Structure 1
Amino acid sequence: MSIVKQIGTSIIVFCLATCTTVADRSPETNALLAALKSLSGQYILLGHQDATAYGVDWSAEPNKADVKSTTGAYPAVYGWDVGHLEIGKPANLDNVSFNLMRTRIIEAYSRGGINTISWHTTNPTNGQSAWDTTRNSVKEILPGGKHHDTYNNYLSRLAAFFKTLKTDDGTAIPIIFRPFHEHTGSWFWWGEAFCSPQEYVALWQYTVHYLRNKNGLKNLLFAYSSSTIESEAHYLARYPGDDYVDIMGFDDYCTGDEAAYVKRMANSLRVLTKVAKERDKAAAVTETGYEQIPNANWFTQVLYPAIKDYPVVWILLWRNAINRPNHYYVPYPAHPAADDFREFYRLPIICFEDGLAPFDIYQPTKP
C-alpha cells in the first residue's frame, strides 16, 4: 500500500474518532468559543505577541507590557510560541522561559484575557529549525514514517506543558492553539512546496487527535492560519475539516507599500470572512503589523480602515523584540506613533483587555 493510501485511511480513522462535540471541550473553553463568535462583527480585539514577556528595553518585569505602557490597558489577546519546547529546552526560540510563559498565561487568564499559542517547531526529521525546508519531512513523521516516534515525543512534551496551564483551583486555561501556520507559503518545513495537501491534512488531524483524544486535553481550540489568501480554493486546499478547526485566519504584514498591504488585506478578508461564516467558525487576523511603524498614523489611517468592515474577532500584532532593537510592532510611549495608537485604542469597535470585562467570556452558559 502506498503512503498516500495509508494517509487516506488514517484520515478516515481519525475523523471517526475525533469529530468534535461540546463534550470534547471544557465548559470554559466552550464559553470562550461562543464568546468569540458572539463578539465577531461587534468588536475587534487587539492582540500582541509576547506582550508581557518582554518589550523595548525591558524583559520579564511584572505587570508590564508595551501596549499597557502606551495606552494604559493590556492587550485582549496574548500571543505565545512553544517552539523548542518539543526538544526539551527551558526557553522558546525567542528566549522566553516556559516557566515565565506559564505564569504570564495564567495571569492573562485571571484578568480575562485570551491566550493563543503558535508552534515554530523544530524539524523532527533532523533537529533543524522550523525554517529548515528538508523535503518530505511531513511524510516521514506521519504514522508509518521513519521519524514518527520522534514526532510523538514532540507531541508528548507539548501535551505535558498544556496540562500545566491551570489555575490554583485546577481549572484548565483555554488555549487557542495555532500549529503549522503560514502553510500556503514555503518557508517552513510544513509549507506547501514540501508536502501534499493530503499529507498536511493528515498531519493536522493526527496532531489534534493526539492532543485532544489521546491526552484528554479539553482546553484547546484549534486555529487554521494561512499566509496571505490568494483565493478561496487555495485557502481551503489544505483545510483539515470542520471537526478539526475552530478559528480560521491568515497572516500578512505591511512591509513598506501601504496601498499594496490594504489591497492584500481586502482580498484576504473577503475570502476569510466568507468561508468562516459558511463553516460557523470565528475569523481572525492571526499575525499582522508594520515593523518599526514608520508611519506615525498607521493604526488609524491604514490598519483600521483595512479591517473595520470585516467580522474578524481579533488581530494580533507581532512582537517587540528586546534582542533585536529594530524589530517591534507596537509603539512604546516615546514612539512617534504612540498618540495614534492611543487613538486606535479609543475607537468604539476596538477592544483591549479592559473592554472584555463586561462580557465574562469564560463563564459557561447556564442551561
Structure 2
Amino acid sequence: MIKKSGLIMAILLIVLVIFTVIVRANHGVAKGNMEKENNTILDDKPEGFVEITEKVRDDKDNADISDMEKEVYLADNDASGEVLSLYSYMKAISNSGKVIFGQQNGNDEHVSKRDNVTSDVKDITGSFPAIVGIDTLAIAGDSKINRGSNTKETLEYAVERGKEAIADGAIITLSMHAPNMGAESIEKDADGKYNFWKCSFADSQNTGGDCAAKCLPGGEYNDRYNAYLDIAADYIEGLGDVPVLFRPLHESSGNWFWWGSGNTDKETYKALFRYTKDYMSEVRNLHNLIYVFSPGGTSDEDEYLQTYPGDEYVDILGFDSYDSADIPYNNSFLDQNLREYCKTVASLAKKKDKIAAISETGCLLKTKDCAIKNQDWYRKVFSIAKETGMAYGLLWSNYDESNFYVPFKYDDTKGHEVINDFIKLYNEEYTVFARDLGFYDGVQKYNVKNTNKGEESGYFTDLRTKSAIINARKINSICHNVDQVNLVLKNLEDNKNVTIDMEKSGNMYEAEVTDAVLGDLGKTSRGTAELVADGKILQTIKGLSFNKEVERLPKNTLEDFELYIDDEELKNVYSHNGSGGYSELSLCEKFKNNGSYSGAFTYSLSGESSYTGRFKSLENAEFDSDVNALAFWMKPDGHGEEGAKVILQIGTSLGGAEVNLVKFAAQTEGKYIVIPLEVFSKSIATDDISTLAFYRNNPEQNAPDIVDSTIYFDDIEFIKTDINKLELNEDGYAILDEPLDICK
C-alpha cells in the first residue's frame, strides 16, 4: 500500500508539473486583452521560427540636428517652444537622410509571451519605436490596452505607459477612431456625461446618419463629439507638456469611416477637421500638438488635396497605405505604389514647407510562410521613405499572433521568420529608434520661432454641398484673426450676387438670409456660398439650390449623370480609391444611353494586381424594397484580359457587393446590362445601401500597362423584372441591345 501510494503521488506530481508548464506556456504575462490571446503557435515545438543570426548594433549615432531651422510655420500660432523644436528637429532628420521608425501601440501591445515584455520592437532591438502610437479607441472603446473597468482607469494606465515610452526617448502620436456619434453604444451616465466605454471599431465604420455635419456647432451631435475630443485632450494633458502628433479623422479619402469622403461631402470634412483643431487649441487650451493630415495614398496631388483642411490647420502631410498579405507576394506596392505616394506628399510638403510622412503602413504577417518572407520588406519600405524625404514611417500594431505587423521573439535564440530582416532595418544607419532620437536630451529647449502670426482662417458650421436655402434662415461660421466677415451668395445661372455682413459673437459669425435676399437671388440649382474675410475667400460651398428643392435622382436610380453642372462638380462628388493606378470620371455627350450625358470612367493601370476606382455616397437616394435586379447601360473598352476585373460595386453594411463584368469588357459596343441582385457577391437590401463604385483591376500575373482607356456608364438603376424571361450568360447576367418592356 505504501509503495502504491508513493507511485500514485509521484505520478500526480509529474502531471502537476506538466500542467504547470502548459499553463505557463499558454498564459504568460502579456497585458493585452484576454480575448486577443490565441496561443496555438506558442507551444513547446514551435514551427515557423528561425534562428536569430543578426546581431543588434549598439553603436548607432544619434540623429543629426545641425540642420535645425530657427523658424518654422505651425498651424497653432501659440504652439509651445517644445513643439516648435520638435517640428524643426523632425525636418532636420528628414533633410539629413534619416527616417524615424514608429509603431502603433509599440509600447504596450505585443505578440511575445516572454516574461516582462511590453514591446516586441524593444524586445528585439532594446529600444522602443521612436514614435509610439495610440488611439482613442484604446482608451475608451473595445480596443482597450489593459483590462481596466472604465475609461478613467484605462486613461490613467495609458498615460503611465506613454510616459514610460517618453522616458525611453519616444514621441507619442494619437489617432482617433471615433464612433459614429449616433451609435447606440454611446451611453449617458448619471452625471450627464457621455460614456464611450462600449464603443467598438465597428461604430467608426457605421457610416449612416450624416454624422459629420451633425458634429459641428449647432448640430445634433456636437456635444457628443466634444465629449469624445475631451478624452483625447485628457490623455494629452496627462502626458504633460511634451509634444504629441495628433492625427484625427484619418483616411478621409475612403468610404469605410463615417467621416470619409464616401459618406460626407468634402467641405463638411474640412470644416470638421478645422473645428477639431480649434477645439483642442482654444477650448482645451492645448498648444503642444502637431496636426497630421492622412488620407489614403495617391499619386495625384489634386486628388490628395480634395479633403485637405488647409495650411492653417495642418503641420504634417501623411498618407495611409498597406501592402497586400496575399501569397504569392506581389512587389507592386514596393516597386511602384509606395514610392509614388511618397513622392506625391514629398512634393506637396516641399511646396508648403511642411513635413511629409508615411502615417500608417504595414503588411499583415502570418506565423509561418508570410507574404514578405525573404523579401527584405522592412528595409525596402524605409529605404523608399529615406530616398523620398519622409520624416517617419509608422507600422501598425502587434495585437496577437493572428494580427501583427512586426516580428517577435520566441526566446533568446529564435524568433519569427522575418526577425532577421527587421534587425537589419534597425541596424541601418539611416533608421532612428527611440534611443537614437535624442530629442529630450536638451533639443526640446532649442529656440525656434513660429512664423505663423495668426493667419485668417474660417469655415461654415451649418452649410454643406448639395443643400437648399428656400426659407429665411441664419448661416453660421467660425473665423479667426479677421476684422470684416461677409457671406457672398451667388446664382451662377443668372449671374446674381448678394453680399451679407456677418455679425460677430466671439469667434462665431452669423448672417441673416432674409426673404428679400432670396428674392434678389432668384430660383436656381447652381448656387454657391463664399465665406469672405477681409477680402480673402476662406471657404466655398458649391451645388446649392436657392428657392427650390435640391434636384434628386429619380427613385431607384443610383446614377444617371444628369445633375452635375460640370466635370469639376462630378469630381467633387466621386472619390478615388486604388493602388498602382488612377482614374477619373467626366461627363460625356458622345457615348450615352439617354439624356445629355453618360459618365466616362477613364483609367490608367500599371503593374500586376493594381487597381483603381471611383465611388460616391448614396445617402439621399431612395429605393423600393421589392426590386430584384440592377440595370444599366455600358460601353466597354475592349480590355477583357484573363484575370482582370471590371467591377460595379454597391456598398452595404456587409461590405462591397460587386459583380465582375470583365468578359463583357472585351467588347466595345454599348449594351444594356441586367444583373439579378442574387448574382452580386454579397446580399443587397435596398434599405442598407451606402455607396456606388466603379473599379478596374489588373490581373495578378502578366498584367499589361493600360494608359487612359475609357469605359462609359449610364442610367444605373434598380428594377423589378421577371428574371425568368431574361437570357442570362454563364456569369449570371443579361446583355441586351436595348431596354425591354419587361426591364422598365
TM-score by length of 1: 0.85
The answer to whether the aligner puts 1:183 opposite 2:261 as a matched pair is no
Of Structure 1 and Structure 2, the greater strand share is in: 2
In the comparison of the two structures, how many residue pairs are matched?
337
Which residue number corresponds to residue 99 of structure 1? Answer: 156
Q: Structure 1 residues 301, 347: closer, same or farther in 2, change over 3 A?
A: closer
Counterpart contact for 1:84–1:121, Cα < 8 Å: no
The answer to whether the aligner puts 1:267 opposite 2:317 as a matched pair is no
Q: Structure 1 residues 55, 279: closer, same or farther in 2, change over 3 A?
A: same
- The amino acid across from 1:93 in the alignment is S
Deviates more, 1:19-28 or 1:270-279: 19-28
Choose the corresponding residue for 1:299, options 359, 377, 380: 377
Offset at residue 158 of structure 1 (A): 2.7
Q: Which runs of 5+ in 2 are unaligned?
A: 1-72, 147-153, 186-202, 410-414, 449-744
Which residue number corresponds to residue 55 of structure 1? Answer: 110
Of Structure 1 and Structure 2, the greater helix share is in: 1
Which residue number corresponds to residue 403 of structure 2? Answer: 327
The answer to whether the aligner puts 1:340 opposite 2:390 as a matched pair is no
The whole-number CA distance in structure 2 between the counterparts of 1:69 and 1:254 is 25
SS in 2 for 1:286: strand
Offset at residue 213 of structure 1 (A): 1.2
Offset at residue 194 of structure 1 (A): 1.0
The whole-number CA distance in structure 1 between the counterparts of 2:425 and 2:342 is 20
Counterpart contact for 1:52–1:63, Cα < 8 Å: no
The whole-number CA distance in structure 2 between the counterparts of 1:111 and 1:33 is 19
Offset at residue 222 of structure 1 (A): 0.6
Counterpart contact for 2:75–2:311, Cα < 8 Å: no
Counterpart contact for 1:22–1:30, Cα < 8 Å: no
Which residue number corresponds to residue 7 of structure 1? Answer: none
The answer to whether the aligner puts 1:76 opposite 2:130 as a matched pair is yes
RMSD between aligned residues = 2.3
- The amino acid across from 1:64 in the alignment is T
Percent identical = 30
Which residue number corresponds to residue 67 of structure 1? Answer: 121
The answer to whether the aligner puts 1:284 opposite 2:357 as a matched pair is yes
The whole-number CA distance in structure 2 between the counterparts of 1:362 and 1:292 is 36
Q: Structure 1 residues 308, 33: closer, same or farther in 2, change over 3 A?
A: closer
The answer to whether the aligner puts 1:351 opposite 2:432 as a matched pair is yes
TM-score by length of 2: 0.43
The whole-number CA distance in structure 1 between the counterparts of 2:219 and 2:248 is 20
Q: Structure 1 residues 122, 300: closer, same or farther in 2, change over 3 A?
A: closer
The whole-number CA distance in structure 2 between the counterparts of 1:99 and 1:359 is 23
Which residue number corresponds to residue 93 of structure 2? Answer: 39
Greater RCO (Cα-Cα under 8 Å, separation 6 or more): 1
Q: Structure 1 residues 23, 234: closer, same or farther in 2, change over 3 A?
A: closer
Q: Structure 1 residues 75, 178: closer, same or farther in 2, change over 3 A?
A: same
Offset at residue 21 of structure 1 (A): 6.7
Offset at residue 254 of structure 1 (A): 1.0
Choose the corresponding residue for 1:365, options 422, 431, 446: 446
Choose the corresponding residue for 1:123, options 170, 174, 180: 180
Counterpart contact for 1:135–1:194, Cα < 8 Å: no
Q: Which runs of 5+ in 1 are unaligned?
A: 1-18, 167-171
Larger-Rg structure = 2
Counterpart contact for 2:210–2:263, Cα < 8 Å: yes
Counterpart contact for 1:50–1:80, Cα < 8 Å: yes
Which residue number corresponds to residue 315 of structure 1? Answer: 393
The whole-number CA distance in structure 2 between the counterparts of 1:298 and 1:291 is 15
SS in 2 for 1:138: helix
Q: Structure 1 residues 246, 304: closer, same or farther in 2, change over 3 A?
A: closer
The whole-number CA distance in structure 1 between the counterparts of 2:435 and 2:76 is 28
Counterpart contact for 2:102–2:131, Cα < 8 Å: yes
Counterpart contact for 1:84–1:122, Cα < 8 Å: no
